[in-house]
Amino acid sequence: MNHDIEPARQLPVRYDVDVLVVGGGPGGVGAALGAARNGAKTLLVERFGCLGGSQTLTYSSSFSFVNNELQGGFVKEITERMDRGGGVVHDIPEKWDRGGWGPKQGVVFFDGEYYKHFLDNLMAEAGVKVLFHAFAVGSIREGNVLKALIVESREGRFAIRAKVIIDCTGIGDIAWKSGAPVIGQEGFPDGPYKGQHMGYGWAFFIGGLDVKKYRAFEREHPREWNQYISGRELIKQAKAKGNLYLLRNSVILGERENGRVWVLSPGYTLKPDQHPWEVEAMTAGEIDLRKQAWSLHKLLKENVPGFENSYIEQTPVQPLLRDGHRIRGEHILTEHDMTTVKTFDDAITVCNMPPDYFLPNGTHHFEFNVTPYDIPYRCLISTEIDNLLAAGASVSLDFKAWAAVRYNTPSMCTGQAAGTAAALCVKTSVSPKRLEVRTLQDKLRSQGLRTSVKEVPENVIKQYERMAKEALAIEDFAG
């Protein structure tokens, strides 16, 4: 590839803070709250115009498998406060419970617009300074320390200095752009490499469904339509006739009583020579995913009673990249850790998500076959950069562990731990690597977060053991 040289220039230092959180998804929200509530001067930068990350930008508006005896902390607080305020969605079709992904399994669904506003207020309440439309594009690195991050905005570039930086970009963007070792980079043993990526996920909204009519149709066709994963026969036939452009062979419909339907089905597989973060891949993905949505909607409109007058109401601002980079941490959580090791002395939170992964050929795999396990603090600490932590989907995980720990609930929990750790580091003038883990664990426990499986009541663990035995499996899921 040809290269041009960008001239050096002076950057104004716009802010100088204790803790800089990059990314406003569940990881970033947890991190910013954790840092600010523990006394750190905290700034959060987000490249789009709202908080929530994938929960609001790409419509994954839920907290999966919430169990207050297992997680607690900010997840408990936020879900309860939203419920009291009317932001939690309760009219979830019962077929979602039957499919293993409903309120009975602890999934808390919320209104994405309510959540955006709620988070604005939550940040203001905690004293977190938020900057929207601020894209962190690089860093000023001195040896093993990030002195500042470079942020791109409508008014040009500026620098933000911080004592501790938390990468909550969902794709380890800051670690990668700072030249720190990351997982997902060619040359490191933990992949994923070109040709092994999981592709893009995507959800969209249809409006104008005649719910009554659709419910009657569902009742008439229970095996095909009154299911969490539905439409298999119609999709199969339409594909065979060349009447449908869709990667997957089914659809998940989350229809509300007001006629708004959350639709999960379009998916995009990458070419063997592509990485998901490449702009050409993202552009091709966007165009293809929209084409699938329009093709699927046409099929539903023409064949499924209730959809006759429906319309595509909203599509997301970006696809879910699934596997970007992740920091290369002091420990890489592995599938073996999740299934066999289970507990760690430096545990900072508990996760009950099993791996939920896609293969390069577009197939999906989910099986509730893992009982709760610890996430160690070392997964949050960069091996190379002294003042860099990560939270959410950017923490140090192998492929299978990533496929589980990336989820919204564990992302917010690792965020709470990273933010709290950062504040303690600032307070005691130590780097994240040197932080006394016991002090962190005590602080987290005092703020309601379970830090280890060892603290989870026996009956709760038993409940997950039963689920694992039944191995509740969702095959060929449309996500």
Pick from 53, 259, 355, 432 the residue near ligand FAD by CB under 6 A: 53
Pick from 42, 64, 274, 451 the residue near ligand FAD by CB under 6 A: 64
Give the per-residue contact string, 254-293, with ligand FAD (x = CB under 6 A; - = no).
----------x-----------------------------
- Complex with ligand FAD: residue 140 or 221, whichever CB lies closer: 140
Under rule CB under 6 A, residue 408 binds ligand FAD: yes
CB 423, CB 35: distance < 8 Å: yes
Under rule CB under 6 A, residue 378 binds ligand FAD: no
The conformation of residue 157, written as its DSSP 8-state character, comes to E
User: From the CB of 220, what's the least distance to ligand FAD, in Å?
Assistant: 29
Under rule CB under 6 A, residue 169 binds ligand FAD: yes
- Complex with ligand FAD: residue 62 or 230, whichever CB lies closer: 62
Binders of ligand FAD among residues 387 to 406 (CB under 6 A) are 392-394, 406
Stretch that binds ligand FAD, among 92-100, 200-208, 363-371, 375-383 (CB under 6 A): 200-208
Binders of ligand FAD among residues 65 to 104 (CB under 6 A) are none
Under rule CB under 6 A, residue 407 binds ligand FAD: yes
- Complex with ligand FAD: residue 198 or 240, whichever CB lies closer: 198
Q: Cα 101 vs. chain centroid, distance in angstroms?
A: 16
- Complex with ligand FAD: residue 105 or 439, whichever CB lies closer: 105
User: From the CB of 373, what's the least distance to ligand FAD, in Å?
Assistant: 16
Under rule CB under 6 A, residue 62 binds ligand FAD: yes
Pick from 38, 54, 71, 178 the residue near ligand FAD by CB under 6 A: 54
Pick from 382, 411, 420, 441 the residue near ligand FAD by CB under 6 A: 411
CB 89, CB 110: distance < 8 Å: yes
Total of chain residues touching ligand FAD, rule CB under 6 A? 39
Binders of ligand FAD among residues 316 to 345 (CB under 6 A) are 320
- Complex with ligand FAD: residue 155 or 458, whichever CB lies closer: 155
**Opening angle at CA 447, ends 51 and 379, nearest 5:** 65
Q: Cα 309 vs. chain centroid, distance in angstroms?
A: 33
Pick from 21, 82, 88, 136 the residue near ligand FAD by CB under 6 A: 136
Stretch that binds ligand FAD, among 43-51, 302-310, 442-450, 466-474 (CB under 6 A): 43-51
Under rule CB under 6 A, residue 42 binds ligand FAD: no
User: From the CB of 59, what's the least distance to ligand FAD, in Å?
Assistant: 6
Strand ranges in 290-438 using DSSP code E only, listed in sequence order: 311-314, 326-327, 347-351, 356-358, 364-367, 373-376, 388-390
- How many of the other CB atoms lie within 10 Å of CB of 2? 3
User: From the CB of 349, what's the least distance to ligand FAD, in Å?
Assistant: 14
Pick the closest to residue 104 from 114, 113, 94 (CA basis).
94
Under rule CB under 6 A, residue 201 binds ligand FAD: yes
What are 374's strand-pairing partners? 350
Under rule CB under 6 A, residue 60 binds ligand FAD: yes
- Residues near ligand FAD (CB under 6 A) are 22-28, 45-48, 53-55, 57-58, 60, 62, 64, 135-136, 168-170, 173, 201-203, 264, 320, 392-394, 406-409, 411, 479
